[in-house]
Amino acid sequence: MDEFKIEDNISYKNLFKPYGYINGEWIDLPKGKSFDIYNPSTNKIIAKMPEMGIDETKYAIESANIAFDKWKKKTAKERCLLLRKWYNLVLENIDDLSVIMTLENGKPLKESKAEIIYASSFIDWFSEEGKRTYGRSIPATQIDKRIITIKQPVGVSALITPWNFPAAMITRKVAPALAAGCSVIIKPAEQTPLSASALIYLAQKAGIPKGVINLLVANNPIPIGKELCENDTVRKISFTGSTEVGKILIKDSANSVKKVSMELGGNAPLIVFNDADVDIAVKETLASKYRNSGQTCVCANRIFVQDGIYKKYSEALAKKVADFKVGDGFEHTSDIGPLIDNSGLKKVERHLDDAIAKGAKVLIGGKQPSLGGLYYEPTVLTEVAKNMVLFKEETFGPLAPLFRFKDVDEVINMANNTNYGLAGYIFTKDLNTAWKVSEELQFGMVGINSGILSTEVAPFGGVKESGIGREGAVEGMDEYMEIKYLCFGNIM
Ligand code: NAP
């Protein structure tokens, strides 16, 4: 395999840090203890990163613990000012950060830029919210008592993140943690550690003190994960990734009874009722389904279309899908990049083969384009049914299966017939339908005539096996704080 060379005149080189980061220092390891990072668009190696393990994890925990003592004693305003410097630096470096993200994740450059803006919004929002972590004054039941609550940082927090949003899944955790006064240890996905190290380099430049942010990188996450979960000093685990791994982390952190936040997998229903505006439903389905090549936890996984609109909607959707251009993320014309790796590609193929064997029809796509590699054509399937694998599992690829339904009760039953409960979407002009179905859906978030719902100001998260806790908004701040109740007695 050819090795990717970083040319001297390329500006992102300054942010290109193929290292871990502990106690304010970049850490490399001896040759042989490294793993390769690939560009999924070309399958070329772009970097070698140190394979960190238990020793580095212990060192990072110790450093984070020492730093926590000083960081929590800063005023909220002092922390705010440092976070704002970081926020400004992220935006100043948006072009270089986007290049790094497209290099390691493959998503089109325009999507990488949109993600950096989204990622920075968490730093912006939580830098201010840190000043508003108010407690309460509670009227007591005895005349000589006074009751108040205060909020305090939970402590050293371990943050484990996936590859599909290499920057935003990090800032959505780090920003509230730091604003609350916690120190953190980040373990990014093995495919996308370079976006993480670039962001941390900018945090270092902003003046975030040593030990407050630490970065562990590895191809084998198991020893790091075990130590982070079992070590008593770590008081919080915040994880975004698959439900399967989330369950392991919950079990492993049970002995030390840590506070946990889990942002796990999804199996989102997108429901189009007969009275929906077809143009809006199609536009929003495209955004929900095909963004990041369908590799998002909130992307529409099962599209339910009512009988009366099925033909019109499916034809309009396929017509728009035909306009998508699949290609390298660095080509300006690309709308759909590659899948992240071979197992991602195989999963899409397995779902498609199973559906076709059970009677589904390909309306458009359904194969790899001539580019080959990790690319897959955006696909629309009709005549899909509940006995197909894609009804149960998250496809995590550009495959849109269109189920048919007759009435509201039938579609609510089908939509809720899953262990997941992250996001759901409804398209209708009827307020009554929108309200009733929103209430009945067993999902943490519902988009009504909207296929996109992520924002820093709203609580993001799921129910059932899609997770515990919320990220973003006031609720996202509370994930990094403990409530302490103070009772003053004998006040005469
Ligand atoms: P994953 O395999 O669960 O990995 C996520 C992270 O966990 C990676 O950093 C991974 O490291 C690490 N990890 C894996 N096994 C571990 C272990 N035993 N101990 C400690 N860490 C471990 O998920 P993924 O494939 O990267 O991401 C896709 C999943 O994330 C999908 O299910 C998607 O729905 C979900 N997701 C959810 C949200 C949300 O907000 N709810 C957002 C985005 C994605 P390695 O990379 O080294 O394996």
| 11 CB-near residues (< 8 Å, 6+ apart) | 95, 96
Residue 21 and residue 27 in contact, taking contact as beta carbons nearer than 8 Å: yes
Dist. CA 263 → ligand 1 center (Å):
9
Task: Round to whole Å and give the CA distance between 184 and 200.
Answer: 11
Predicted confidence band of residue 1 (pLDDT cuts 50, 70, 90): very low
Mean pLDDT of the 70-90 span: 98
Type of residue numbered 175: A
Q: What is the mean pLDDT of residues 137-149?
A: 98
Q: How far is the CA of 417 from the centre of ligand 1 (A)?
A: 24
- Quick one: pLDDT band at residue 30, thresholds 50, 70, 90? confident
Residues 330/111, Cβ–Cβ less than 8 Å: no
The tokens of 122 are what? 């968490």
- 6-264+467-484: in CATH 3.30.360.10: no
Active site residues: 263, 297
CATH assignment, 268-455: 3.40.309.10
Nearest CA to ligand 1 atom 18: 222
**What is the per-residue pLDDT across 158-202, written as a single tens digit (0 to 9) for each?**
999 999 999 999 999 999 999 999 999 999 999 999 999 999 999
Nearest CA to ligand 1 atom 11: 189
10 falls in which pLDDT band (50, 70, 90)?
A: low
Pocket of ligand 1 (CB under 6 A): 160-164, 169, 187-190, 221-222, 225, 240-242, 245, 248, 263-266, 297, 394, 422, 462, 467
Looking from the CA of residue 462, the nearest atom of ligand 1 is 41
The answer to whether 6-264+467-484 and 268-455 have equal CATH topology is: no
**How do residues 210-232 score in pLDDT, each as one tens digit?**
999 999 999 999 999 999 999 99
Give the pLDDT of residue 3. 41
Q: What is the pLDDT of residue 29?
A: 84
Distance 436 CA to ligand 1 centre (A): 33
Q: What ranges do the domains of the chain cover? A: 6-264+467-484, 268-455
Mean pLDDT of 30-48: 92
